[in-house]
Structure formats: C-alpha cells, structure tokens
Chain A
Amino acid sequence: MNFVAPDFMPVLPELFVLTMTCLVLVVDVFLEQRQRHITYGLAQLTLLGAALLTLFTYAHAPVTTMFGHYVKDAMGDLLKLCIYLASAAVFLYSRDYLRRRDLFKGEYYVLGLFGVLGMMIMVSAHSLLSVYLGLEMLSLSLYALVAIDRDSPVASEAAMKYFVLGSLASGMLLYGISMVYGATGSIDIQLLADAVAKQGLGNPVLVFGLVFLVVGLSFKLGAVPFHMWVPDVYQGAPTSVTLYIGSAPKLAAFALVMRILVDGLGTLQADWQQMLIILAMLSMMLGNLVAIAQSNIKRMLAYSTISHVGFLLLGILAGTPEGYAAAMFYTIVYVLMAVGAFGVLLVLSRTGFEAENIDDFKGLNDRNPWLAFLMMVIMMSMAGVPFMVGFYAKWMVLQSIVDIGLVWLAILGVLFSVIGAFYYLRVVKCLYFDKPEDNTPIEMSRDTEVVISANGLLLVVLGLYPTALMSLCSTALLG
C-alpha cells in the first residue's frame, strides 16, 4: 500500500471555514456580551473568505481528491457560493432579532458556521461516507439551533421532534447505504456508479437499499409523506433559526439527492423515478392544500416549502441534464425567496412581539410601503406569477417533465400551483387592503434594509433576465 498525500488545494474552502469557526469559538469565549458583534463580524468574514476562495478556484472540470471522498466540480462550487450568500443574509437578518431576544450568543454563529461546513461537505461529497457525515454535521447543528432558546417550551418540543425524526431519517439513510455497499462493495460514488452499471437492475438488494435511501432523503427534504416534522419545526423554532433551516440547507439537500441518486445510482433511474413521482405529487398536493388553512405564517411557509420540494423533485425525476439544471435553478430561486420572506418576518418582530401570524401583515403598506412592496414581490414570486423569477423556475421544471412525456404530471403541477397562488395572494391582500392593527413604527438597521431590498429586487431582475443564472446552472451540470 503506497500512500501519497492528497491534494489539499480543492478542500481549501472547507479547511478555511473549519479553522475560522474554531477561531470564532475561541474568540467568543473571551468576549463580553456588548462585544458580541465581533463574533458576528468574524462569522460574516468567514463566509466572505470562503466565498472568495471558492470563486478564485471555481472548478470548470471536476477534480477528485482525498482518495475519492471529495469532489470539486462546477455544480458544487455554484451551490457553495449560494450557500455562503444565503447564510450571510441569514446572519444579517437575524442579528437584530436575536439581540432583542437575548439570544445574541456566540453559539448561534458557531453552530451556524458548522452547519455551513456540513453543507459544504455534503455538496462536495464523493463517497457515501462523506455524504452521510456532512449531513450529520448539518443536522446536529440544526437540532441545537432549534433549541437555542432554552426557556421556550415550544422550541424545545420542536427540537425534540426534529431530533427524533431526523435520527430516524439518518438511520434509514445509513441502512440504505449499507445495503448499497453490501451489493456493490464500494462507497465511492464513481466506483458505485460503475458497479451498478455492471450489475444492471437485476440485483434486488440494490433496489431494496434504494428504497431506504429515497425514504431517508425525502425525510431530510421534507417531502410528503415524510414531512411531519417540517411544520412543527418551522413554527416552533425561533424565527431566525427557521430562516436558517428554510434556506441554505435546501441547497445542500438538493446536492445530496444529486450525489446519491443521480451520480451514484443513475443507472437505477427508472426505479427511483417512480418513487419520486409519487413523492412529488403528494408533496405538491398536500403542501398547497394544507397551506390554505394556516393562519400562522411560519406554518404556512412550511407547507409552502413542502410544495416547493415537490416541484424541485419534478426536475430531478425528469432524469435529463435539463431537468437537473431546472431543479437546481428552482432550488436557488426558492432559497432566495425563503430568505426574503423570513427576513421580512424578522424585521416585523420586535421586543416582546413575535410576528408570526398572517394578520400581523395587515396594512403593512400604511406602515412601511417599501417593505410591503418587497413582501408582495416575494409572495408573487413564490406563487409563480408571470414576470417573477418564481414563474420562470416553475416553467423550466414543468418543461423538463413535459419533455420526457409526463404531461399529466405537468398539468397536475400547474393545477396545484394555481391553488397555491390563493394563499400567497391572501398575504398580498393583507398587505394592501386591510387596516393596520398596530401602528408601532418598524425599526430596521441600514444594512438590513439595503440587503433585504436587494434580495427582493433580485427576484424581479432575475424574473426579467433569468438566462444568466440559468446558463450558470446548465453549464454547471452539463460541464
């Protein structure tokens, strides 16, 4: 056995984030409460540094290192950049919210950064082992983040549910991985794909493992019927944490599905396509229908997430590069919208008041017209109103499944998004046509205002010029 030290250069962003996170952890211990903004600054600096490192080493051809456990490719790099961006926005939006609730602690940032590291590992994973470990790192950080407000019984309950169901999902995933390993004798995704291609579809153990893998993945994605944790966790967690859970991890989850199902088990596409069709259909149906009945906006957005996951799965199940690119585009756009929506929610909350009902948006136009406009843009984009980026994303995904002949599924998708438009537009109605119930002025720090405006406007700009991002996505996947 001859051992050659692996190439560390591709792993540089991960190493940087890890080092910086440990630094943040140590520095934070020596800070007093009023100096906590240094922790925040360091966290943002970490993300910025990682973004620069990723940008300068942007991969045009895939590079595998760490003995096949790590791959650096364009898809990974693009997703990572989006993860940094989303997380930076999350940290910014939640800063004032945390400060008002005595939650402005170093742990939030340290755990958040470890979550980012976990996502990076998932995105760049090239073996089932690193996929799983990255997922666990992310999940562990999220469980703790949900419970970070220790005195809130709702948050603790949400964390408990999340933890129990999340461990179950990890168990499923591991079980599936072990089956696949047993059938192919490999955990390296490339070798795995080769072995599967050689064995073909004849091996029932492989299919059996696949079932468990899909179940585990849908748990993590929150696809129906494995969605039970999503609404409770979204509602129970502090809004800043909901924002975190609802944004960047979706990108990582997309990568997870791509790495395992497409890169690893692509030969079994016919098998997992059927499973994903059922998952996607149920998710779109249940997500959109149940969301109508919600009065709590965090819960409503949770169900909306479920329906969006359904759409995302549509793109993946198409099984074509165009479909994958569409799904990736959809995920990125969804994260952009989710960050914006929860960001507005965070701005509306203040000391002693938690904005979490749809009624809290009543008459926002009278209180702060700009914020109301941004919220309207976000909601319309989520609903898929034409000329918003959400529309384009849905259209791309639907087109990709029409291309493979699943017209009925596309029609179903359109139908449910029309139903879904109802509850998004209800929020818009609240914004503009209802009288405000309380007239407390809305405080917003300057940087939050700038970023949240950029966030909202980006949805419009991307809606008008989607080609740039779309071509990035397709080149990332097509090579």
Chain B
Amino acid sequence: MGFEKFLFYVFSLILVLASVGVITVRNPVRAALFLVLAFFTSAALWLLIEAEFLAITLVLVYVGAVMVLFLFVIMMLDINVAPVQEGFTKYLPFGVAVALIIVVEMGLMVSSSYFGGDRYSLVSHAADYSNTKELGSVLYTFYVYPFEIASVILLVAIIAAISLTMRRREGTKSQNPSRQVRVSRDDRLRIVRMAAEKNK
C-alpha cells in the first residue's frame, strides 16, 4: 500500500465520519462545523488526484465564504433543537425503510463493475501541466455558454435575495456620508451680528 493510498483511506474515513456527524449531531453549529470538515477533507481527496484547482476553490468558496455566512446565520438564529426533532422518531421507520431500499437498489445497480477503479484509471500528466490553465481554457471557450448562463443565474439570485429582504425601514439612524461631506459652513453655523452690550 503506497503512501497515497494510505492518505486516501485516512481522508475518506474522516470524510465519512464527518458526513455522518453532520446529520446526527444535535447542535446545528456543530453540524455546520462537521460540514466544514467534510468539505475540507473532500478538498484533500481532490488534491490526491491532482485536481488542485478544484480543491482550492472548494476550500475558498465553500469553507471560506459560504460556511462562514452559514455559521453566522445559524449562530444568530440560535435554533431550539428539541421541537425540530419532534417528528423525527415518528417518521424514522419510514425514512429508514426508504433509505434502505435506495441503498440496496443503488448497490445492485452501481456496483464496482461500472464505476470501479479499473474502469477509470487516473490520467497522469507532465510536471508542467497546470489544471488551472486547462480548466480556464475550456471554461472560457467550449463551455462559455453554460458559464455565462451560470453567471446570469447568480445575478437572478442576487436580485431575488435583495427583493425579498430589503425593506426601507423608517427611523433607522443610518448616515448618508455623501450628504455629510457636502455640508458647508452655512448649513451649520450662523453668525449673528449684534450690538455689543454696554456695561452700565
């Protein structure tokens, strides 16, 4: 067993355990942290197959940005766990049954004869091969259409999010910096000329 294989099993084990943790842990913050761990280890797995761009982007986008915001929201909400899990035991037998059926079906269908390692061998590349460059050159040429659509979808998401959440509340004490800057002396100061009072 090579060193890489050893690493693969270590990371896979952590990944599986972390994923199980995500759905079994009762505290949502810990579940989110397990998810972070799961993302991180899958990034490590990607590194093992020399997909360094994807691995780093996964960490950058999901771990560095998405999960931070996610944690932010979860921590703020302070979800009470007990009521959320009330229906859990009630539907547990049904859920387990469905899950089992799916697992068995998938096991039968997608056995290793279709997706086994011998069927898809790892492509090896020269030392100067940069998969960032390769991805970029494909993404901006042959996949430019889906790529642009994806960017439009992000725009739609921004518009949707803003239109659903932005409210102009009355009475908030926010400042308007450009107005502050534009203030001139005349707005604030009035020089009153008055006759000096004489002491009697």
Contacts and interface: CB of A to CB of B under 8 A. Distances in A.
Nearest to A115: B156
Contacts of A148: 163-164
B163 A133 contact: no
Interface string A1-30: 101001000010000001000000100000
B164 A129 contact: no
A148 B146 CA distance: 28
Contact of B145 (A67, A136, A203): A67
Contact of A111 (B105, B114, B160, B167): B160
A105 B166 CA distance: 13
B149 A67 contact: no
Contact of A143 (B137, B143, B146, B160): B160
A92 to B, nearest CB: 22
B150 interface: yes
Interface string B109-121: 1100011000000
A182 B114 CA distance: 9
Given A1-B137, A105-B163, A150-B164, A140 B146 contact: no
Given A1-B137, A148-B163, A205 B110 contact: yes
Interface in B78-135: 105-106, 109-110, 114-115
Given A137-B149, A137-B152, A205-B114, A67 B160 contact: no
B143 to A, nearest CB: 7
B114 A18 contact: no
B83 to A, nearest CB: 17
B61 interface: no
A66 interface: yes
B20 interface: no
B157 interface: yes
B163 A144 contact: yes
A67 B144 CA distance: 9
A105 B167 CA distance: 13
A301 B97 CA distance: 35
Contacts of B160: 111, 140-141, 143-144
Contacts of A18: 152
A455 B163 CA distance: 32
A133 B146 contact: yes
Contacts of B178: none
A136 B153 contact: yes
Contacts of B164: 144, 147-148, 150
B141 interface: yes
A111 B158 CA distance: 11
A70 interface: yes
Nearest to B137: A1
A150 B115 CA distance: 47
B14 to A, nearest CB: 24
Contact of B110 (A6, A121, A133, A208): A208
A66 B156 contact: no
A80 to B, nearest CB: 16
A134 B149 CA distance: 8
Contacts of A1: 137, 141
A441 interface: no
A121 B145 CA distance: 10
A117 interface: yes
A203 B114 CA distance: 9
A352 interface: no
A130 interface: yes
A74 B82 CA distance: 56
Nearest to B167: A150
Given A117-B152, A205-B109, A129 B157 contact: no
**Most-contacted residue by chain A among B114, B142, B145 (CB, 10 A):** B145
Interface string A369-386: 000000000000000000
Nearest to A15: B148
B141 A111 contact: no
Contacts of A137: 149, 152-153, 156
B159 interface: yes
A141 B156 contact: yes
Interface string A153-187: 00000000000000000000000000100110000
Interface in A395-435: none
A106 to B, nearest CB: 9
B194 to A, nearest CB: 45
Given A205-B109, A205-B110, A205-B114, A127 B159 contact: no
B190 to A, nearest CB: 34
Ranked nearest first, the 4 interchain pairs of A and B with the lowest CB-CB distance are A144-B160, A107-B163, A66-B145, A133-B149
Given A18-B152, A140-B157, 20 more contacts: A1-B137, A66-B144, A67-B143, A70-B145, A111-B160, A114-B152, A127-B146, A130-B146, A130-B149, A133-B146, A133-B150, A137-B149, A140-B153, A141-B156, A147-B164, A148-B163, A148-B164, A150-B164, A205-B109, A208-B105
19 contacts: A6-B145, A11-B145, A67-B142, A67-B145, A69-B143, A105-B163, A111-B156, A114-B156, A130-B146, A133-B149, A133-B153, A134-B149, A141-B156, A144-B156, A147-B164, A148-B164, A150-B164, A179-B110, A182-B115
Interface of A: 1, 3, 6, 11, 18, 25, 66-67, 69-70, 105, 107, 110-111, 114, 117, 121, 127, 129-130, 133-134, 136-137, 140-141, 143-144, 147-148, 150, 179, 182-183, 203-205, 207-208
